[in-house]
Amino acid sequence: RAEMPSQEADTGNPKEAVNMANILADWQPSDRMRMYIRNDVVAQMWRYGASAAAAETDPYAKKQMTLMADRVLGGGEVQFQGPRGIASAPDGSLYVADTANHRIVHVSAEGKMLGMWGSYGTASEESAAPPGAFNEPWGVAVGPDGNVYVADTWNNRIQKFTADGQFVTMWGTSGNDGSPYALWGPRDVVVDKQGRVFVADTGNKRIVVYDADGKPLGQFGRGGIEAGEFSEPVGLALDGAGNLYVADTWNQRIQVFAVSSDLVFTPLRQWPVEAWYSQSPDNKPYLAVDSEGRVFAGDPEGYRVLAFDADGKLLYWWGQWGMPPEGMGTVGGLATDGQGGVWVADAEHGQLLHFSPSAGAPPGP
């Protein structure tokens, strides 16, 4: 509480009276501050006084699809807190990076608990975090042999487990010296048909590739806006041809690369994404590609999922803020189910949502 100088006592001393006047003139009961708000957000809250640019419509508005979740997992036997990454196993079950609970959860497509492992643990000055412990795991992937790989984000490492959660190995440590084991906030991991492990080393603005046991095979990327450069790479996805898709978040684009057998990365195409505006901790978009070549991208703070064709043309999008199944909260990881459906991690409400976009009615061109 700010205390205002008292004016009740009058000592009759002119010098003290002058000092009191100076104090009152300079007295500031509060600190000044400025808050900046994006024009599009201002336009939604207050239409008067906003610039013409604030009233611009969403360029994707005409491509909205009305779609409700046909399955909602979470609550009861399975409890999630801030789930992010999702990976589909060959049998249709799901591995979930239950981020705020610092664990991995394995559930059936119907929501039955199949297993879970992990607890909070972090590195000290003397030693790394214990195997099987996590500090906000954000990414999870299933290899062709059924093993599970986890981006243990704030332990700055990758951990490998068997399908039932038995620890196998781990690699990586905090750093930004350019070496393949120096990771900084890795947010996602995917595994190709050859068992090569691709890691979005988000803070170091690069992609690092390892073999199934953690031996470095290659890396590419650096900070920048040119093809093959990144600013906050997060979500990764592979298509049927082995091409790598990267959510280049702060550059607001998706980049696609051909990956050769000897790990030469060739830029194929890229396209802008009219989303991902902020640099908040929640604005971390994930990707998924289905067998038809559709590219699904989460818009975390837009509470929606964007669907593009393989060349980057927007096909449609769905979602709005609200409680599932009608709405969704902050969008986390995505996974396709092999049957035209898409799983979405609702990090805000602690649930997994299943959608069948082919059952909706896509808008016209």
Q: Is 17 helix (H, G, I), strand (E, B) or coil?
A: helix
Q: Is the pLDDT of residue 10 over 80?
A: no
Please report which helix (H) or strand (E) contains residue 119, including its range.
strand 119-120
Q: Is the pLDDT of residue 55 over 80?
A: no
Q: Is the pLDDT of residue 48 over 70?
A: no
Q: Is the pLDDT of residue 52 over 60?
A: no
Residue pLDDT, tens place only, 157-169: 999 999 999 999 9
Q: Is 164 helix (H, G, I), strand (E, B) or coil?
A: coil
Residue pLDDT, tens place only, 294-344: 999 999 999 999 999 999 999 999 999 999 999 999 999 999 999 999 999
Mean predicted confidence (pLDDT) in 37-64: 59
Q: Is the pLDDT of residue 247 over 60?
A: yes
Per-residue model confidence (pLDDT) at position 27: 53
DSSP, res 301: G
Q: Is 160 helix (H, G, I), strand (E, B) or coil?
A: strand
Q: Is 83 exposed, middle or buried (0-12, 13-18, 19+ CB in 10 A)?
A: buried
Per-residue model confidence (pLDDT) at position 75: 87
What does the alpha-carbon distance between residue 248 and residue 359 come to, in Å, rounded to a whole number?
A: 30
The answer to whether 94 touches 83, Cβ cutoff 8 Å, is no
Per-residue model confidence (pLDDT) at position 123: 84
Q: Is the pLDDT of residue 87 over 80?
A: yes
Mean predicted confidence (pLDDT) in 69-80: 93
Please report which helix (H) or strand (E) contains residue 255, including its range.
strand 253-259
Q: What is the band of 53 on the pLDDT scale with cuts at 50, 70, 90?
A: very low
Residue pLDDT, tens place only, 138-157: 999 999 999 999 999 999 99
